[in-house]
């Protein structure tokens, strides 16, 4: 057997082994996809990442409690701004009545 024939047989053997590995990988992927759909995988990944973000946010909140309290107080004041303005100005913003010194419009 010549050197070229021996090398060709080795190359063919390597090719067949590589082909067997690729086919095994494809079969493994198909079995894995059949076990769990792409949507399920995506949902799992999104859930896992959301959990990581929640953990990171809770760690930041523990480290910065003062800033968090100030932020929550500012949000509470913002949402209650109209009742507070009405309380301190002495008038109710919900009144649509005209002031006493205004003249009524002619119809």
Tell me the per-residue pLDDT of 1-31, one tens digit each, with 9 for 90 and over.
799 999 999 999 999 999 999 999 999 988 8
Helix axes 81-89, 65-79, angle to 10 degrees: 60
Mean pLDDT across 58-83: 91
pTM greater than 0.75 (yes/no):
no
Residue 72 confidence class, pLDDT cut points 50, 70, 90:
very high
- Which pLDDT score, from 0 to 100, does residue 19 have? 97
pLDDT in the model for residue 39: 84
Predicted confidence band of residue 90 (pLDDT cuts 50, 70, 90):
confident
| CA distance between the termini of the chain | 117
Please give the Cα distance from 13 to 5 (Å, whole number).
Answer: 12
């Amino acid at each position: 057997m010549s050197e070229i024939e021996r090398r060709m047989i080795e190359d063919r053997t390597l090719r067949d082994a590589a082909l067997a590995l690729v086919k095994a990988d494809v079969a493994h992927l198909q079995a894995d996809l059949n076990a769990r759909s792409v949507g399920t995988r995506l949902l799992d990944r999104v859930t896992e990442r959301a959990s990581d973000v929640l953990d990171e946010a809770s760690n930041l909140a523990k480290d910065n409690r003062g800033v968090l309290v100030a932020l929550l107080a500012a949000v509470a004041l913002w949402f209650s701004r109209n009742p507070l303005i009405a309380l301190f100005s002495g008038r109710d913003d919900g009144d649509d009545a005209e002031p006493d010194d205004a003249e009524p419009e002619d119809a």
